[in-house]
Amino acid sequence: MSDEHKVNGGKSKDEQLEKFRSDERDKHMTTNQGLKVSEDEFSLKAGERGPTLMEDFHFREKMTHFDHERIPERVVHARGYGAHGEFELYKSMKPYTKANFLQEPGSKVPVFVRFSTVAGSKGSPDIPRDVRGFATKFYTDEGNFDLVGNNMPVFFIQDGIKFPDLIHAVKPEPDTGYPQAASAHDTFWDFIANNQESAHMMMWLMSPRAIPRNLRMMEGFGVHTFRFVNEEGKAHFVKFHWKPTLGVHSTVWDEAQKINGKDPDFTRRDIHESIENGDYPEWELGVQIVPEEDEFKFDFDVLDPTKIWPEEDVPVEIIGKMTLNRNVDNVFAETEQVAFHPGHVVPGIDFTNDPLLQGRLFSYTDTQLIRLGGPNFHELPINRPVCPFHNNQRDGYGRQTINVGKTSYHKNSLAKNHPRPASEEEGGYVHYQEKVEGRKVQARSESFKDHFSQAAMFYNSMSDPEKKHIEEAFSFELGMVEDKDIRQQVVDMVSNIDLSLSQAVAENIGVDAPAEGGNDYKKISPALSQENTTHKADTLKIAVVLDEGFDGDAVKKTLEGLKDNHTYPVIVSKSLGRLKGADGTEIEATATFDTGDPVLFDALYVVGGSEMDNAFKRQAGYMVHEMFNHYKPIGATGTGRKLLESANVSGEPGVVQDDIPENFLPSFVDAVAAHRHWDRQV
Ligand code: HDE
């Protein structure tokens, strides 16, 4: 590799962006032509009470720019949140791929990640029941590699040609314009029932994965099978996984719906604040690798995007870690203008014939042309590779590069044939020479026709609370479907996955319960259940309900202990400001019962105080009630214990009470680390 292609590890993108940053502080205001502006509040008028004059170039320029500020939102994944970071390799992938950023353990490359929901518009709430996009741009010294994945490892359809149908079905219905950011409506379920390849994905969508607690605690998946190709030209099939170091955690439906009203920006605020606090979100990158010789060794087709490779059969090898450590400076310039494409690959990473992936390879550039207004979007700062790029593409809207010289064609003699293609040894991308033969057909492969086995495996691998969640999710979603026939069709479809599930849902939504069905596929994959994920108290937010006259010494000790355990206690009271303990200790309330709704916290610590009036007790009681119903950890000391007693939650799982800080703290932290306590009677 030539020296000009060597980049400065994890920092190179930040250095590149610095050249484009503009800081307006301590500057005079100018027009876009650099002319200093003397007046920005009053347009130029013919007389104090007269009409505005055309001649006012500053007014015209300012207004015209404003009129053109918006660009079309993404047709899917419109609501997104982006952040910068770096990827560090733990383990060389040299035996499998020649990709440069996967060679040297310890090497780093900059990344930019955009998380998103799929169905909702740009301004929709953060926690609808939906898939989450998880798109990562690796700025490598061989060009950008985009891993444009989701938080679920399978997809609804097997062929790209059906994507417009799927999206038309899930988006707001065209005759009413609603519902926004919701799959709970007739057209979506009509699509599902009539496109049964969606069965496996439907189960993921009805599971807790579809309402993650935040963006830092969800997995990411490349979904498709890609190819690694090594220096010798040998290929392996590969699937990519992102595993959050904090584990995979979700909300419950009632909580998610309330968060969407109380704080529609909940997950973006959460990740923004975590990065600002230095609690950098981290994911480990895992790969599942299958030798090409083993292509036909499985009871599913490795190219089928509605199938997973069970981790117990093909282990996920952890090869590196991504850390998100910098928020964007400007959401439009970076998060909105970033353009991902699953076809952005580097030497050593190649495609397979997964027909969904093949369809995507067309769509992404096409969509940027309309969204970003022309073919030069690769020149936008966020999209530029950190290595140099040269070719004979020229002109077009918004062109920024000033290409010097006469030639913009290949081959030429005037420029000694430059820019010239690179040989494979020089780092040129050479497509993997897969042998392909067959008739031109428009058909589903026989090997893609089993839609229910893995859907059953997913369901059978769930814990009881997850199964309950799935039943309730189906009942809610189908309960919102007006057409009874569609409800019946979906229930009949579900009977191919699990008979008792279909019967329970049928009863809840008033359709005929299937009499027979079920699935003989009995395999279980424990890795699918969130019960088996990592559980830590780190970074969880604890509402501390406090009133005047609290036991100062004990509360201070406990709060310090909670901080030492890397949790975030937030004092909630009836009003903001200082509260005085019985011994004169002062503690500041930073949230009120109004701004600090229980759904915004992960756990509750009730202290109260000696002067609680009835209004305080009622508000605190509401917090206990909500936290309890959402299975969240609850702790109480001192006067707070009475509040738990009157709420009838004492002695329930995940409810910790003790007046001695040394005893209370460890048990409460353990309860917090467990996240949710499902074995409660709610
Ligand atoms: Fe996308 N998808 N998609 N998709 N997708 C887009 O590209 C498309 C699919 C995914 O944060 C669009 O730039 C087709 C699977 C993410 O900017 C569009 C098909 C997976 C994002 C598009 C799929 C994804 C997109 C809209 C079926 C997971 C957001 C705006 C063949 C592996 C990226 C844009 C961001 C965005 C098309 C299926 C992930 C229209 C045709 C499967 C994370 O090009």
Cα–Cα distance, 220 to 469 (Å, whole number): 21
Task: Tell me the pLDDT tens digit for each residue of 220-260.
Answer: 999 999 999 999 999 999 999 999 999 999 999 999 999 99
* 479 and 564 inside one domain: no
User: Which ligand 1 atom is at minimum distance from the Cα of 366?
Assistant: 44
- Report how far ligand 1's centroid is from the alpha carbon of 57 (Å): 41
Collect all residues with Cβ–Cβ distance below 8 Å to 43 and sequence separation of at least 6: 52, 53, 56, 59
User: Does 272 fall in a domain?
Assistant: yes
Where would I find the H helices in 277-415? 355-371
For ligand 1, atom 43: residue with the closest CA: 133
* 125 and 266 inside one domain: yes
- Total domains in the chain come to 4
User: Does 681 fall in a domain?
Assistant: no
User: Does 143 fall in a domain?
Assistant: yes
CB 127 within 8 A of CB 266: yes
The yes-or-no verdict on residue 90 having pLDDT over 90 is: yes
* 475 and 591 inside one domain: no
- 84: annotated active-site residue: no
* 164 and 228 inside one domain: yes
CA-based end-to-end distance of the chain: 62
CB of 160 closer than 6 angstroms to any ligand 1 atom: yes
Rounded average pLDDT over 14-36: 96
The yes-or-no verdict on residue 8 having pLDDT over 70 is: no
For ligand 1, atom 7: residue with the closest CA: 364
* 140 and 247 inside one domain: yes
Residue 476's CATH number: 1.20.1370.20
* 569 and 505 inside one domain: no
User: Does 186 fall in a domain?
Assistant: yes
* 497 and 459 inside one domain: yes
* 150 and 288 inside one domain: yes
- 663: annotated active-site residue: no
pLDDT level of residue 408 (50, 70, 90 thresholds): very high
User: Which ligand 1 atom is at minimum distance from the Cα of 159?
Assistant: 31
CB of 80 closer than 6 angstroms to any ligand 1 atom: yes
CB of 356 closer than 6 angstroms to any ligand 1 atom: yes
* 584 and 491 inside one domain: no
CB of 148 closer than 6 angstroms to any ligand 1 atom: yes
Q: Is the ipTM of this structure higher than 0.95?
A: yes
* 624 and 522 inside one domain: no
User: Does 667 fall in a domain?
Assistant: yes
For ligand 1, atom 39: residue with the closest CA: 149
- Report how far ligand 1's centroid is from the alpha carbon of 271 (Å): 22
210: DSSP letter: G
Residue 598's CATH number: 3.40.50.880
CB of 367 closer than 6 angstroms to any ligand 1 atom: yes
| Averaged pLDDT of the chain | 97
**Binding site as annotated, residues:** 74, 114, 163, 360, 364, 371
CB 469 within 8 A of CB 476: no
Q: What is the pLDDT of residue 4?
A: 59
CB of 150 closer than 6 angstroms to any ligand 1 atom: yes
Task: Tell me the pLDDT tens digit for each residue of 115-165.
Answer: 999 999 999 999 999 999 999 999 999 999 999 999 999 999 999 999 999
* 497 and 524 inside one domain: yes
pLDDT level of residue 611 (50, 70, 90 thresholds): confident
Q: What is the pTM of this model?
A: 0.97
**Binding site as annotated, residues for heme:** 74, 114, 163, 360, 364, 371
CB of 132 closer than 6 angstroms to any ligand 1 atom: no
CB of 121 closer than 6 angstroms to any ligand 1 atom: no
User: Which ligand 1 atom is at minimum distance from the Cα of 116?
Assistant: 11
Tell which of 505, 531, 557 closes a domain: 531
Token pair, residue 298, equals: 């499985």
Cα–Cα nearest to 9, from 87, 90, 71? 87
- Report how far ligand 1's centroid is from the alpha carbon of 76 (Å): 7
* 547 and 525 inside one domain: no
Domain that holds residue 544: 537-673
The yes-or-no verdict on residue 1 having pLDDT over 60 is: no
Question: For the chain, give me the number of helices (H) and strands (E)?
Answer: 16, 18
Of the residues 100, 144, 150, 327, only one is catalytic, namely: 150
Q: Is 638 left (phi over 0), alpha (psi -120 to 50) or beta?
A: left
